[in-house]
Amino acid sequence: MPVWRGLRSLLMAGDERDAGVAGLAVPSVGALRETGDPWEPFQLVDAAGAVVGPVAAYLKDLQACGRSEATLRSYGMDLLRWFRFCWAAGLAWDQVTRAEAGEFCRWLRITGKPAGPHWRARRAGGDGEAAAAAVAGGPRAGAAAAAAKPAPGRRYAVATVAHCETVLRHFYEFHLASGSGPMVNPFPLDRGRAGRAGAHHNPMEPHLRRRSGLFRPRVAPRVPRSIPDAQFSELFARLSSHRDRGAGRVLGLDRGACLGVAGRHCR
């Protein structure tokens, strides 16, 4: 597949923009590397193995704000998708405009996920059978099967696209405030908004559902998953006392609510 380089602005590209993005091949170069260092748990590296400095500075700022290592990994994966797109299109991260940001969001919604081994398989290593066992026997494999969790699709979920847009908008806000990025955030807020969401909200009135980012898709409310009757009966039978079982009845404990029950809730 040919690599289409040099995304131009909307005013210059015209109809060539659609053909270019459709034919853009984004190779899976670079990686988000887990270091094991508590001071820098994750590093985003390019194809040559060099650390991407702007991402390193942003992740350190997130860590200073008290974000967990799981959050750093999640944000790092979104930034890896963006930098792979920029590398494939021949774009400098600090020279992109709203046009390129919009094209990335379109590409993310339409294109399929890159083909490659699951991240659990990469951690497990070994041959193909060991990798497959690592994916099938993950720590949440049994819970996902019991909760009838749908299998991941071939395209990115809407929630993934929305999360990626939010991360990139905050990433450029950080560098905009630091003076190390572009002068204008390429991932702007919605045109109908200005400033922080709810900055002048009247506490006597309900909050309005508004999109925070211009390119952020609307995420449909999640429908609570359920567990089979046999699993629910087994869980209810394992409650240690009549008090816990009675509390479950009084509080209307149902199969959907059982998915969020932890040990601290059954004391």
Q: What is the pLDDT of residues 80-108, one digit of tens each?
A: 999 999 999 899 999 999 999 989 988 88
Query: How confident is the model at residue 12, as a pLDDT?
Result: 41
Query: Do 241 and 177 lie in a common domain?
Result: no
Bridge partner residues of 34 (DSSP): 42
| Within-domain flag for 136 | no
Domain count, the chain: 2
Kindly state the percentage of the chain with pLDDT values over 70: 61
| Within-domain flag for 121 | no
Query: Do 14 and 78 lie in a common domain?
Result: yes
Q: Residue 38 is part of which domain span? A: 1-113+153-223
Query: Do 36 and 160 lie in a common domain?
Result: yes
| Within-domain flag for 126 | no
Query: Do 29 and 54 lie in a common domain?
Result: yes
Please state, in angstroms and rounded to a whole number, the distance separating the CA atoms of residues 102 and 241: 56
Please state, in angstroms and rounded to a whole number, the distance separating the CA atoms of residues 169 and 189: 8
Query: Do 18 and 56 lie in a common domain?
Result: yes
Query: Do 84 and 177 lie in a common domain?
Result: yes
Query: Do 158 and 247 lie in a common domain?
Result: no
Largest CA distance in the chain: 72
Query: Do 103 and 233 lie in a common domain?
Result: no
Query: Do 69 and 108 lie in a common domain?
Result: yes
| Interacting residues of 4 by C-beta distance below 8 A, sequence separation 6+ | 19, 20, 21, 23, 24, 25, 89
| Within-domain flag for 18 | yes
Query: Do 256 and 215 lie in a common domain?
Result: no
Please state, in angstroms and rounded to a whole number, the distance separating the CA atoms of residues 18 and 14: 8
| Within-domain flag for 132 | no
Query: Do 106 and 47 lie in a common domain?
Result: yes
Contact at 8 Å (CB) between 74 and 163?
A: yes
Exposed, middle or buried: residue 169 (CB in 10 Å: 0-12, 13-18, 19+)? buried
Query: Do 258 and 157 lie in a common domain?
Result: no
The model's pTM: 0.66
Query: How confident is the model at residue 266, as a pLDDT?
Result: 52
Lowest average pLDDT, out of 58-72, 131-145, 151-165, goes to 131-145
| Within-domain flag for 143 | no
Q: Where are the beta strands (DSSP E) in 17-168?
A: 31-37, 40-45
| Within-domain flag for 127 | no
